[in-house]
Amino acid sequence: MRGLALQVLLPGFTGTTLPDDYRALLEEGLGGICYFGSNTADGADATAALSAAIRAANPRAVIAVDEEGGDVSRLHTRAPSPVLGAAALGAIDDLDLTEAVGRWVGQELAAVGVTLDLAPDADVNSDPDNPVIGTRSFGTDPERVAEHVAAWTRGLQSTGVGACAKHFPGHGDTATDSHLDLPRIAVDADTLAARELVPFDAAVEAGTRAVMTSHIVVPALDPDRPATLSPVVLGMLRDVLAFDGVVVSDALDMAGASGRHGIPEAAVLALVAGCDLLCIGPDKPAALVEEICDAVLAAVADGRLDRARLAEAAARVAALEAPVGGDREPPDRLRQTEAAHGALLVEGALPDVTGAAVVSVATTANIAVGDVAWGLGPDVTVDPDAPDGIPDGVPLVVQVRDAHRRPEVLALLDRLSGDGRTVVVVEWGWPGPYDGGLARICTRGSSAPGVAAVVEVLREAGWTR
């Protein structure tokens, strides 16, 4: 029974080498490991060696990671991702390119031993103030999002790496971050079916190996429980969308899941609701894994969790196969840069920016994105509330992320405009509304191809760095 309880757990540990206590858990049957930035910090060779150590301890272990391309990358944290993200791909609307990006990501993951990618994002970003989805979404139109989700899934899974569409039943219509609180989405069942569920249905039709839940309450379906803990919501995934793969919980250390219950109890409730593989979160001690395992075993013993449900979940996890590997095709930089140009939205006439300094406005990224490189390499980084150090006497290229939902950033831009400074704003987040009078370049997410496209546009306006 302990082996079944361990099989459904997907924790993350700290560091780039396998700790002895985690090695012991894997040898006992721990279901897998989820990589985060602390695990991949030493580069591809070290990550591949870590994967080999994990598989040596448990050959059937799932090795998972969030590698969406664009803003969300665990393999590329010191420089922007080499592939375009979802919002840019959706704007370009080239399904062949989207499938190719999924394939390129899958080949890179297979090369370092990853077996399950917690991507693509299948959310329809219907709320422009969404603090956690934004450029991770392929767009605002359900049918277009669905087509790109299916294409990216096909590309990824052609490499043998499993896809995991997220965040069911849809996290796009919320202005609350479920990492920090419990969002509620006030949509009726008809809207849910016509908007949120369309991309997930496409992912299922494309053969996605897994679907990730969201920690959001949808009162039209279940007024009391977030989707991760709701048999009603997860039953819809099985019965209405006919999905028979692995249901993966979003990280249970997020407030939306465990804020009221604690992680061990949230794990039990998620299994009861219908989750199969429980993502625990990053940097967790082995002692917490033991605590969760004990809670699951106690729930089986007292009848709260049916043993057959646990066995079903464990069997689904065990059925996930490791990729076979194969030749790696490097991303086509030229093709992506040309596409990134097509995704750019340039508002207003760009002024002469000869000699311009690049100013990054520091804002906290959402937890899903994390502390990673973004945009152009800055000459100076400033706090929007205390913007000391902005160079005088030269034009400015001011880099922001999601300025439309950050009053302090908009106030800084207004101040620069009022001072008569020559400024081009580069918006690396969601292209929300802006009427501050400064010329603006919207990129729909940070990536290496996006950076290359912005550099070319700025050079046409006189920038020479």
The amino acid sitting at 175 is: A
Give the whole-angstrom CA distance, residue 289 versus residue 24: 12
Give the whole-angstrom CA distance, residue 251 versus residue 66: 11
- 3-class DSSP state of 51: helix
Question: What pLDDT does residue 334 have?
Answer: 95
Total length of the chain: 465
The percent of residues in the chain predicted with pLDDT above 90, rounded, is 84
Burial of 409 per CB tally in 10 Å (0-12, 13-18, 19+): buried
Pick from 196, 220, 58: nearest CA to 130: 196
| Mean of per-residue pLDDT scores for the chain | 94
Using an 8 Å Cβ cutoff, are 162 and 320 in contact? Answer: yes
- Whether a cis peptide bond, with omega within 30° of 0, leads into 169 is yes
Instruction: Quickly count: other Cβ atoms within 10 Å of residue 386's Cβ.
Output: 9
pLDDT, average across residues 180-204: 88
Strands 277-281 and 246-249 turn out to be: parallel
Assess whether 404 carries a catalytic annotation. no
- 3-class DSSP state of 394: coil
Question: What pLDDT does residue 174 have?
Answer: 73
pLDDT tier, 177 (very low <50, low <70, confident <90, very high otherwise): low
Q: What share of the chain is helix, strand, coil (3-state, %, to 5)?
A: 40, 15, 45
Calculated CA dihedral for residues 387, 392, 395, 401, nearest 10 degrees: -10
Question: What pLDDT does residue 369 have?
Answer: 86
pLDDT tier, 56 (very low <50, low <70, confident <90, very high otherwise): very high
pLDDT tens for residues 363-415?
A: 988 778 888 899 999 999 999 998 889 999 999 999 999 999 999 999 999 99
pLDDT tier, 324 (very low <50, low <70, confident <90, very high otherwise): low
Task: List helix spans (H) across 241-306.
Answer: 255-258, 263-273, 286-301
pLDDT tens for residues 115-173?
A: 999 999 999 998 887 778 999 999 999 999 999 999 999 999 999 999 999 999 998 87
pLDDT tens for residues 61-107?
A: 999 999 999 999 999 999 999 999 999 999 999 999 999 999 999 99
Structure tokens at 359: 């100013």
Task: List helix spans (H) across 120-253.
Answer: 142-157, 189-191, 197-205, 231-239
Give the whole-angstrom CA distance, residue 342 versus residue 91: 8
Alpha carbon 388 to chain centroid, angstroms: 33
Using an 8 Å Cβ cutoff, are 396 and 356 in contact? Answer: yes
Question: What pLDDT does residue 196 have?
Answer: 93
Using an 8 Å Cβ cutoff, are 279 and 10 in contact? Answer: yes
pLDDT, average across residues 194-221: 95
pLDDT, average across residues 22-50: 97
Give the whole-angstrom CA distance, residue 369 versus residue 125: 16
- Whether a cis peptide bond, with omega within 30° of 0, leads into 323 is no
pLDDT tier, 185 (very low <50, low <70, confident <90, very high otherwise): confident
Q: Which one is catalytic: 121, 123, 201, 250?
A: 250
Give the whole-angstrom CA distance, residue 412 versus residue 410: 5
- 3-class DSSP state of 122: coil
**Is the pLDDT at 181 greater than 80, yes or no?**
no
pLDDT tens for residues 275-319?
A: 999 999 999 999 999 999 999 999 999 999 999 999 999 999 999
Using an 8 Å Cβ cutoff, are 290 and 9 in contact? Answer: no
Using an 8 Å Cβ cutoff, are 117 and 65 in contact? Answer: yes
Give the whole-angstrom CA distance, residue 31 versus residue 361: 41
The amino acid sitting at 273 is: A
Question: What pLDDT does residue 368 have?
Answer: 80
What angle do helix axes 286-301 and 20-28 make, rounded to 10 degrees? 30
Give the whole-angstrom CA distance, residue 399 versus residue 356: 12
Assess whether 179 carries a catalytic annotation. yes
Question: What pLDDT does residue 132 have?
Answer: 82
Task: List helix spans (H) across 112-249.
Answer: 142-157, 189-191, 197-205, 231-239
The percent of residues in the chain predicted with pLDDT above 70, rounded, is 97
Instruction: Report in angstroms the alpha-carbon separations of 140 from 87, 127, 128, 283.
Output: 9, 9, 9, 34
Using an 8 Å Cβ cutoff, are 163 and 156 in contact? Answer: yes
Ramachandran category for residue 274: left, alpha or beta (phi over 0 → left; psi -120 to 50 → alpha)? left
Task: List helix spans (H) across 93-126.
Answer: 95-111
**Is the pLDDT at 327 greater than 90, yes or no?**
no
Q: Which one is catalytic: 167, 179, 215, 404?
A: 179
